[in-house]
Chain A
């Protein structure tokens, strides 16, 4: 089966660090994406991991462990504008079709002053 799990909601304080976890079980693996989605808007790309380890991009970092089926998104120096839903998505191999993304339900992050 295919399953992607992430917490439904998280709350953090402005200026702090927050880690959003994602575990997955999918048919094949061709990479893991993190997207940010503000209410009523389209998802926007944050990061992509295909090899184990940490990818850093400014205030955002993403980690992957393929053997554990685990990833996390780390947000540093939180700002109020970071309040959004964060979607974990796995690109798997499903039948003959690659590059199809399977999304988790998203983690709604609320940043408080």
Chain B
């Protein structure tokens, strides 16, 4: 396994369109996280899953955002009716327990541009 993968790497869409991103975590990692990062900022937490259960969703996420992890493996993040403010890098990370904490491994990200 070569790490966390994300598809697509880049997405350009027009305002109002729906987009869906996919994340494949490292095999057997039971935790999966979604973050959003804008230029010059650190990643901001969006949501995370333990296995197939979505355990937390940030207040940053409006009702236009939804995430799923149906079989506890890959995850999808959908944004409906995209807005220009949604333009960002969307990062996925996965983890399993390492001692007392869960070290998170990040994927390369999906860069979304909303025109």
Residues of A within 8 A of B (CB): 4, 30-31, 33, 35, 41-45, 48, 50, 87, 89, 91, 94-97, 99-106
| Complex interface bits, B50-66 against A, C-beta within 8 A gives 1, otherwise 0 | 00000110000000000
**Interface window among B13-21, B38-46, B67-75, B78-86:** B38-46
Contacts known (A97-B56, A100-B48); A106 close to B41, Cβ less than 8 A: yes
Contact indicator B42/A87 (Cβ below 8 Å): yes
Output the least CB separation between A12 and chain B (Å): 20
User: Which of A44, A87, A91, A100 lies at the interface centre, i.e. has the most chain B CB atoms within 10 A of its CB?
Assistant: A100
Between B41, B42, B55, the greatest number of chain A beta carbons within 10 A of the residue's beta carbon is seen for B42
- Report the bound CA distance from A94 to B48 in whole Å: 13
**Could you tell me the distance between the alpha carbons of A43 and B106 in the complex, rounded to whole angstroms?**
6
- Select one of A4, A45, A96 contacting B103, CB under 8 A: A45
Q: How large is the interface on B (under 10, 10 to 19, 20 to 34, 35 or more residues)?
A: 20 to 34
Cβ B101 vs Cβ A31 within 8 A: yes
Q: Are A97 and B48 in contact (CB under 8 A)?
A: yes
- Out of B41, B100, B108, which one reaches A31, CB within 8 Å? B100
User: Could you say which of B45, B105, B108 has the most chain A C-beta atoms within 10 Å of its C-beta?
Assistant: B45
The CA of A35 and the CA of B45, in the complex, are separated in Å by 15
Query: How far is A43 from B91 in the complex, measured between Cα atoms in Å?
Result: 9
B40 contact set on A, CB distance < 8 A: 105-106
CA distance A99 to B33 in the complex (A): 10
Task: Give chain B residues whose Cβ lies under 8 Å from the Cβ of A95.
Answer: 56
Residues B56 and A100 in contact, CB atoms below 8 Å apart: yes
B42 pairs with A103, CB closer than 8 A? yes
B31 touches A (CB below 8 Å): yes
A91 x B42 contact (CB < 8 A): no
Instruction: State the CA gap A43–B41 with chains docked (Å).
Output: 12
Tell me, rounded to whole Å, the shortest Cβ–Cβ distance linking A13 to chain B. Answer: 24
Contact residue among A89, A96, A99, A105 (Cβ-Cβ distance under 8 Å from B41): A105
Q: How far is the CA of A104 from the CA of B43 in the complex (A)?
A: 8
CB pair B101–A100 under 8 Å, yes or no, is: no
**Cross-chain contact A99 with B106 (CB below 8 angstroms):** no
